[in-house]
Structure 1
Amino acid sequence: EHGKERTKTFTSKKEARYFRNQLDNDRADGVHVPDYLGKSSTFSQVANAWLVSRSLRPSSLDRDESYLRSLIRPRIGHLPIGEVTTGKVRDLSGELIRTQYRQGHTYAPATVNKAVAIVREVVDYAIDDGLLPAPAAIGKVKGAPKVTGSADRQELLDIPTVAQMAEMIDHADGNGVRFWGAHLAFLAGTGLRWGEFAGMMMDCVDLEAGVVRVRRQLARRGGGLELVDNLKTREARREVTLPGPVLERTREHIARFGVHEGRLFSTLAGARLDGSNFRPRVLKPAGAAARVPRVRIHDLRHHHASVLLETGTPIHHVARRLGHRDATVTLSVYAHVIDDLADDSAATAYAHAIGAHADSTADSPGLAEVVAFRR
């Protein structure tokens, strides 16, 4: 009653009445309304507390901190937490969609959606922690509409074909050294995640049976690399068979270059692999030589999954080999591949059906021409 008087402005009487009624309802329900709608705590301060409260793998925490540092804090970090409204989040999403982080490159839809999801979680944390009314007078932040469309498909446009993958391996081998090509062949032939590949130790490799067991991964912690046994999901702990050519190439690689500190693959100097070096020094030049200049390390995993699907491997087998939680994850990621296969199967089936019909109606030149064209 004797505290400092505070004011708030609104764009309309309707908004002001809603705000007043919401506060009155909260107080009547016994809800504490502290911090005058989060005016004394900035988004960045709440985000710091949110990060500390999370029980995640270090690599996941590093990823979220990276999103906050590079995408979110520079744009809304200074705002009082109570002013991070749905409208502000939509503005953030729109700005990220339009931003070119380098010449000709904008943020992918998945990146924008992840940034929005983090903002939403930070605001939810503020509500749960009593920094904002519950429910918040401004309305719970819903985030921006999910970014979808052609850009989602762009994420998978630079997957190497089998022929391009062979060109990449040949280029990486370079001058008969045949070193880096084995790394690319293993990644493409197993579909392992980069951390699983870089963290593969010889105690999990059975060259007689042609199987590797995924039990660890190389993760980035505090700016360094560390071998850890907590994988991305429970299903990530799996056995992966090596295709014949990959098995032979791996045996040859070990025979020629040996094993360093128990690692299946290392650098030429015998050090741990680091994706930030492998990408520009090995992957990008190989991709450029094979006409897939934008290829990413993860695209070799996409390549592997696409090859399996295109050769008729059941979706649940693909999911298990990739270490997905379930087949629905695989379906959502590779829906475009499955759609294309369905289109091709339908075209083939009807071509055969029409062809069979044409054989029995040889006196129909129009139909015969259609069949000949389809073939």
Structure 2
Amino acid sequence: MKRGSTWSYVIRVKDPETGESKPKWVGGFATEDEAKEARDEARVRARRGEYIDRNAITVSEYLAEWIEGHAVEVKPKTLAGYRVMIRLYIEPNIGKMRLQALRPATLTKLYRDLLTTGRKNGKGLAPNTVKHVHTVLRKALADAVLVDEILPNNPAERAKLPRVQVTEPGGVWTPAQLRQFLDTAKSHRLFAFFRLAAYSGARRGELCNLRWADVDLDVPQFRVTGSSAVIDGERIEGTTKSGRSRVVSLDAETAEILRAHRKSQTAERLRLGESWKGTADYVFTTGWGEPIYPDTVSSLMPTLIKAYNDTKPKKPLPRARLHDLRHIHATTLLLAGVPVHVVAARLGHSDPAITLRVYAHVISEQMASAADIFASSISRAS
């Protein structure tokens, strides 16, 4: 039925408490076809006992309520990431839509548009960023179904992420290139940070949060108990990504490098005296004793790479990120035949399946040589 400039429909819905069937009028549709399509969907849901009253809340309005409801239970860094995805990529594109008008096709188009023209300059977003947008929507819309009961189903579950060429981690540097980088970094006061990152596979935030109380150089090993990050310019500390602590073993040379680093740090503290600003026994600090910010070491890495390349070597070091040291660590161990579950525990993956997925290309290389290894072992047997 047309009411004014919009169309409405009516269906009968059974009250779950009384069992009595009552008419439900729903309006606001721009065309007759839209009203009929919505009516047919509503009839199906009513027969299943899944009917949900029409709600005018928009995507932006719902996400604003949803994000505030997660302010306590989600890690601050994760929450900040959710807010960025919502503010930059979700609200400008679908924020004004009614939440109940979302369809899988709507989100599929959103992901495709973000991948091709999602930036302010008209260029596409990185595939991982589009994936993060999908993750936020999938979580929020799941709550709209299960908690708030505004949606009958989650359209993000059936939306299609664009197929993209996945860049395999760990292929940036060879072990020889890693040695060249570390040789260059030896002259810097934070050399021990890069050495520990490369030789332990620990995350940036985990090392920035590391205390000497968690380091045992006699065994040698260290315990990862938390992580640090910067949100809105403020350094914060929290749990590890998996929420669990872990122990990471060290080689003897890295232990000696950490001993030398501790001596240098002690000398700095004695030299500065009352000017020393350290309030905890952080392993990696500024020259004034304050804990270093994660971005400090990330921005230092390209500076060190440039310092090496400025020496005009025959083979300059390719560009690499600090996180690539973690990938090099994992790749080297896997190619050396270290069991996947051991590598997973070392990296802090909550499940070896994560390691298998991230480093599938390395596992494939091992599988390709498995037949030759078996045949060689049998032929050498006496």
Q: TM-score, normalised by structure 1?
A: 0.78
Instruction: Write the distance in 2 (CA, Å) between the matches of 1:347 and 1:329.
Output: 27
User: Which residue does 1:337 correspond to in 2?
Assistant: 362
**Residue number among 43, 55, 61 corresponding to 2:59 in the alignment:** 43
User: Which residue does 1:171 correspond to in 2?
Assistant: 184
Instruction: Write the distance in 1 (CA, Å) between the matches of 2:232 and 2:115.
Output: 29
Instruction: Write the distance in 1 (CA, Å) between the matches of 2:123 and 2:294.
Output: 21
Higher relative contact order (CA closer than 8 Å, sequence separation 6+): 1
1:170-192, CA deviations, whole angstroms, 9 ceiling, x for partnerless residues? 3333xxx3423221111011111
Instruction: Write the distance in 1 (CA, Å) between the matches of 2:119 and 2:321.
Output: 17
**Residue number among 91, 114, 118 corresponding to 2:132 in the alignment:** 114
SS of the aligned residue for 1:299 comes to: helix
Classify 1:208/1:157 alpha carbon distance in 2 versus 1 (closer, same or farther; 3 Å): closer
Give the drift of 1:342: 2.8
Instruction: Write the distance in 2 (CA, Å) between the matches of 1:133 and 1:239.
Output: 44
1:20-59, CA deviations, whole angstroms, 9 ceiling, x for partnerless residues? 122234445665543x3x4x32211111222122322222
- 1:182-193 alignment runs, 5 A limit: 182-193=192-203
User: Which residue does 1:125 correspond to in 2?
Assistant: 143
**Residue number among 217, 228, 234 corresponding to 1:224 in the alignment:** 234
**Residue number among 324, 333, 355 corresponding to 1:308 in the alignment:** 333
- 1:321-336 alignment runs, 5 A limit: 321-336=346-361
Runs of 5+ unmatched residues, structure 1 = 357-375
Give the drift of 1:126: 2.6
- 1:214-293 alignment runs, 5 A limit: 214-221=224-231, 223-228=233-238, 230-234=239-243, 236-258=244-266, 260=278, 261-280=280-299, 282-288=300-306, 289=309, 291-293=317-319
Classify 1:238/1:144 alpha carbon distance in 2 versus 1 (closer, same or farther; 3 Å): same
State the Cα RMSD in Å. Answer: 3.2
SS of the aligned residue for 1:279 comes to: helix
**Residue number among 190, 198, 216 corresponding to 1:180 in the alignment:** 190
Classify 1:161/1:270 alpha carbon distance in 2 versus 1 (closer, same or farther; 3 Å): farther
Matched AA of 1:167: Q
SS of the aligned residue for 1:126 comes to: helix
SS of the aligned residue for 1:142 comes to: helix
SS of the aligned residue for 2:67 comes to: helix
**Residue number among 15, 26, 29 corresponding to 1:8 in the alignment:** 29
SS of the aligned residue for 2:222 comes to: strand
Instruction: Write the distance in 2 (CA, Å) between the matches of 1:326 and 1:207.
Output: 28
Give the drift of 1:221: 4.8
Give the drift of 1:205: 0.8
1:205-231, CA deviations, whole angstroms, 9 ceiling, x for partnerless residues? 111111101112213355411233x32
**Residue number among 8, 18, 23 corresponding to 2:42 in the alignment:** 23
Structure 1 residue 73 corresponds to structure 2 residue 98: no
Runs of 5+ unmatched residues, structure 2 = 9-26, 270-277, 310-315
Instruction: Write the distance in 2 (CA, Å) between the matches of 1:117 and 1:226.
Output: 24
Matched AA of 1:250: L
Contact 1:169–1:286 under 8 Å retained in 2: no
Structure 1 residue 211 corresponds to structure 2 residue 221: yes
Classify 1:105/1:292 alpha carbon distance in 2 versus 1 (closer, same or farther; 3 Å): farther
Indicate the percent of aligned positions where both proteins have the same amino acid.
25
Give the drift of 1:72: 2.0
Work out the number of aligned pairs and report it: 336
Instruction: Write the distance in 2 (CA, Å) between the matches of 1:51 and 1:95.
Output: 24
Contact 2:229–2:235 under 8 Å retained in 1: yes
Matched AA of 1:232: K
Classify 1:140/1:98 alpha carbon distance in 2 versus 1 (closer, same or farther; 3 Å): closer
Instruction: Write the distance in 2 (CA, Å) between the matches of 1:106 and 1:349.
Output: 47
Give the drift of 1:74: 2.2
